């Protein structure tokens, strides 16, 4: 069930990525739907699921982007594992907390990718600070919206179930 949910999330991320590139054009690097999928998959604290989710989503992102294959794979693996580890240590109940976690993860992901690029291909250009800031903000915002939406959905479902149960009695 968990892998199915992750697979569906990854498919949605691919579709959103392609649509975002078509609509936003050169602004599309500001959004990373694959990282959002990795984080939602890792946020319940399962280390192996976080790690493998990071590998799968990262390599998918690499397949759709250019340059060194495995750059996003490496960064998202680290992010998936460390987010799952962080979720084991701290309990996040508010959407603002999720937003902060997602933003921090996006910042660490960018730092990892920049670091790897500097080591492996030193002559390559680096992203602009506004570009990185936009990515961090957008990933955080998607985390906030996703977490709040999931909360509303779960509560709504629970209300519907309890009222149905009452009616049946």
Partner 1 sequence: MTERQSRWLLVLVLAAQLVLLSSQVPGSGREQSLLETWSLRLVSPFARLVEAASRGLAEVGDGLRTRAQLEQANELLRQRLEQLEEERIHFFGLEGRLERLNEAVLYEPPTSGPVRVADVVHVDYGVWFQTLILYVGTSGARIQQPVATSDGLLGRVVVVAGPFAKVQLVTDRAASVGAMIERTRRQGVARGGPDGTLEMDFVPLQADVEVGDRVVSAGIDGVYPRGIPVGRVVSVEPGNELFHRIRMTPAVDLGRLDQVFLLEYETPPESIVGLSDAQP
Can you give the binding site for partner 1, defined by CB under 8 A? 11, 14-15, 18-19, 21-22, 25-26, 28-29, 47-48, 51, 55, 59-60, 62-71, 73-74, 77-78, 81, 116-117, 120-121, 124-128, 131
Minimum CB separation of residue 20 from partner 1 in Å reads 10
Minimum CB separation of residue 50 from partner 1 in Å reads 9
66 vs 168 by CB, closer to partner 1: 66
How far is the C-alpha of 22 from the C-alpha of 50, rounded, in Å?
A: 30
Minimum CB separation of residue 116 from partner 1 in Å reads 7
How far is the C-alpha of 4 from the C-alpha of 129, rounded, in Å?
A: 37
Minimum CB separation of residue 74 from partner 1 in Å reads 5
89 vs 169 by CB, closer to partner 1: 89
Minimum CB separation of residue 42 from partner 1 in Å reads 12
How far is the C-alpha of 35 from the C-alpha of 124, rounded, in Å?
A: 23
30 vs 99 by CB, closer to partner 1: 30
55 vs 145 by CB, closer to partner 1: 55
48 vs 157 by CB, closer to partner 1: 48
């Amino acid at each position: 069930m968990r892998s199915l949910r992750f697979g569906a999330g990854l498919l949605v991320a691919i579709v959103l990525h392609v649509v975002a590139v078509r609509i936003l054009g050169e602004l599309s690097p500001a959004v990373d739907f694959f990282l959002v999928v990795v984080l939602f998959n890792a946020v319940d604290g399962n280390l192996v699921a976080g790690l493998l989710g990071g590998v799968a989503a990262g390599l998918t992102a690499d397949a759709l982007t250019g340059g060194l294959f495995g750059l996003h794979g490496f960064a998202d693996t680290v992010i998936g594992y460390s987010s799952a580890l962080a979720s084991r240590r701290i309990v996040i109940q508010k959407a603002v907390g999720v937003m902060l976690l997602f933003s921090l993860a996006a910042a660490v992901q960018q730092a990892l990718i920049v670091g790897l690029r500097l080591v492996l291909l030193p002559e390559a250009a680096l992203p602009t600070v506004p570009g990185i800031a936009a990515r961090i903000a957008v990933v955080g915002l998607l985390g906030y919206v996703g977490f709040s939406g999931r909360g509303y959905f779960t509560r709504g479902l629970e209300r519907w179930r309890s009222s149905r149960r009452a009616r049946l009695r």
